[in-house]
Amino acid sequence: MNLSGKTFVVMGVANKRSIAWGIARSLHNAGARLIFTYAGERIESSVRDLANSLEAEGTLVLPCDVTSDEAIASCFAEIKEAVGTIHGLAHCIAFAKTEDLKGEFVSTSRDGFLLAQNISSYSLTAVAKVARELMTEGGSIVTLTYLGGERAIPNYNVMGVAKASLDASVRYLASDLGKDGIRVNSISAGPIRTLSAKAIGEFNSILSEIEAKAPLRRTTTPEEVGDTALFLFSDLSRGITGENIHVDSGYHIL
């Protein structure tokens, strides 16, 4: 797989456990140039350290809080100025209030519901709108979803509803952007212990269930997700758009 000469935006690295970091490493190993975006000064140094550890020329690290259209516009204006054209974008962003990731979904507040939808689902459309302008040679957009958007999974609650909306957005965006040669797909990752996952109630028991019952009898790694993203970013997947690929040791078939 050779992506040298191509530039990819990776949104959502927080630390070395982030799935976005797994995707970044797969892209980097294939020779791609990377642009990282992050939200909040709190994680800036961690993202910069990881980006520097790649020792790759031309890597950029830019702020982009996806709740702000102005922040998205200014981030992509900077990207345009620096590289002109991008070939792909990894959207690895989600957030919900901890209190909405346990107990009964029926207790979800209006605020909590809208917050999860805004950051975890609408942001894909907000970003695709501006990224499209930079994908002048066509492109590939990949987002991350979870089985909790297809089924009611205990504690996933408000995030499951946000993922269902994200999954539908993938189909509508794929339908709109196909004529520009831009493909839009998702990866439904099996549970991985990351910063965001820590907020989900009884996450350890979800991991144990996968180890005990998934066809492959093991949990998913960020590297496995990264390599599937690499496939979706490459020409090998040129006929695929609007699709969701489960990278979950086969758990979803049960």
Ligand X SMILES: NC(=O)c1ccc[n+]([C@@H]2O[C@H](COP(=O)([O-])OP(=O)(O)OC[C@H]3O[C@@H](n4cnc5c(N)ncnc54)[C@H](O)[C@@H]3O)[C@@H](O)[C@H]2O)c1
Residue ranges binding ligand X (CB under 6 A): 12-14, 18-20, 39, 43, 65-67, 92-95, 119, 144, 146, 189, 191-192, 194-197
3-state SS track over 146-163: CHHHCCCCCCCHHHHHHH
Least Å from the CB of residue 48 to ligand X = 13
Q: How far apart are CA 150 and CA 165, in angstroms?
A: 10
Q: Is 10 annotated as a binding residue?
A: no
Q: Is 25 annotated as a binding residue?
A: no
Least Å from the CB of residue 172 to ligand X = 18
Active site residue 146: yes
Least Å from the CB of residue 5 to ligand X = 27
Which residues, in sequence order, are bridge partners of residue 143? Answer: 91, 186
Q: Is 73 annotated as a binding residue?
A: no
Report the relative pairing of strands 88-91 and 7-11 from DSSP bridges. Answer: parallel
What is residue 136's DSSP assignment?
Answer: B
How many Cα atoms sit within 13 Å of 249 on the Cβ side?
Answer: 20
Active site residue 38: no
Catalytic residue among 38, 122, 146, 251: 146
Least Å from the CB of residue 192 to ligand X = 4
Q: Is 35 annotated as a binding residue?
A: no
Catalytic residue among 122, 156, 172, 251: 156
Q: How far apart are CA 112 and CA 192, in angstroms?
A: 23
Q: Which amino acid is at 139?
A: G
Which residues, in sequence order, are bridge partners of residue 88? Answer: 8, 140
Task: Give catalytic residues, as residue numbers.
Answer: 146, 156
User: Annotated binding site for NAD(+): which residue ranges?
Assistant: 12, 18-19, 65-66, 93, 163, 192-196
User: Annotated binding site: which residue ranges?
Assistant: 12, 18-19, 65-66, 93, 96, 163, 192-196
User: Annotated binding site for substrate: which residue ranges?
Assistant: 96
